[in-house]
Amino acid sequence: MTDRFTTARERMVLEQLVRRGISDTRVLDAMREVPRHLFVEDAQQARAYGDHPLPISGDQTISQPLVVAAMTQELQLQGNERVLEIGTGSGYQAAVLSRLCSRVYTVERINILLASARKVFDQLHYYNILSRLDDGTLGWQEHAPYDAIIVTAGGPEIPEPLVAQLADPGRMIIPVGDREVQELHLLRKEDGNVVVSRLESVRFVSLIGEHGWNND
Ligand code: SAH
């Protein structure tokens, strides 16, 4: 898609992603394609391709492009997967995933965010994204198991229902830590075993729910 931000998107991919080691060409192409400016408020559109997170409604944030790319790359998507995302927020991460797998299931707990993300999915004809209003720390049992799971809010631990709903083999990426700072955890399920490795430090908004933080 060509629009007034095509050049800004290309510069984002080269300067923020390729230069810092994102090498999965499918991920890079998806981020060249998805119009990130449509997922932020009108007043923020000019900043949509900057090297930083941006505020969205409900005191939440859309992650920095590099964080979206790095987390997506860890899932190693080939194209046929069914992916569960917890924390739809603006919808940007789900939109990127939708270009890389067969179907995205995304769960959000704040209604206004979900409503506006759904509008953008429709506008872009991204029809392989299914979304639901709920506490995502419980997963989305109906469509389990998922080949990959991505959690885009930070919790105190890896929610057990998500581990249970991950396919074997399967990969999950999730920020775990305290309310201010977390470490990305990569969980791999293979031959009935679960292995967790710790990656870089990140700052996400809180994962709130039964297997997350309390709402206060
Ligand atoms: N992936 C989003 C990032 C949104 S910020 C994007 O690309 O814009 C994290 C989101 O997680 C917020 O919208 C927040 O409301 C949501 N969230 C927090 N706890 C949640 C839970 N238990 N279930 C579903 N969504 C949750």
- Residue predicted with more confidence, 80 or 59: 80
User: Is residue 205 within 6 Å of ligand 1 at its C-beta?
Assistant: yes
Question: Which residue in this structure is represented by tokens 């984002």?
Answer: 12
From 63, 90, 131, 206, the catalytic residue: 63
Q: What is the pLDDT of residues 111-163, one digit of tens each?
A: 999 999 999 999 999 999 999 999 999 999 999 999 999 999 999 999 999 99
> Distance between CA 210 and CA 159 in Å, rounded?
9
- Count Cβ atoms below 10 Å from residue 146 Cβ, excluding itself: 25
User: Which of 176, 205, 213 to probe ligand 1 with, by most ligand atoms within 8 A of CB?
Assistant: 205
Please give the average per-residue pLDDT across 3-28, as a whole number. 97
Per domain, the residue ranges of the chain are 6-202
Residues above pLDDT 70, as percent of the chain:
100
The whole-number pLDDT of residue 215 equals 86
Average pLDDT, the chain: 97
The whole-number pLDDT of residue 2 equals 86
The whole-number pLDDT of residue 15 equals 98
* DSSP codes of every residue in 37-86: GGGS-GGGGGGTTSSS-EEETTTEEEPPHHHHHHHHHHT---SS-EEEEE
Q: What is the pLDDT of residues 36-78, one digit of tens each?
A: 999 999 999 999 999 999 999 988 999 999 999 999 999 999 9
- The Å distance, Cα 41 to ligand 1 centre, comes to 17
Task: Assign 8 a pLDDT band (cuts: 50, 70, 90).
Answer: very high
CATH number belonging to the domain at 6-202, selected among 3.30.530.20, 3.30.70.1230, 3.40.50.150, 3.40.50.300: 3.40.50.150
Q: What is the pLDDT of residues 25-39, one digit of tens each?
A: 999 999 999 999 999
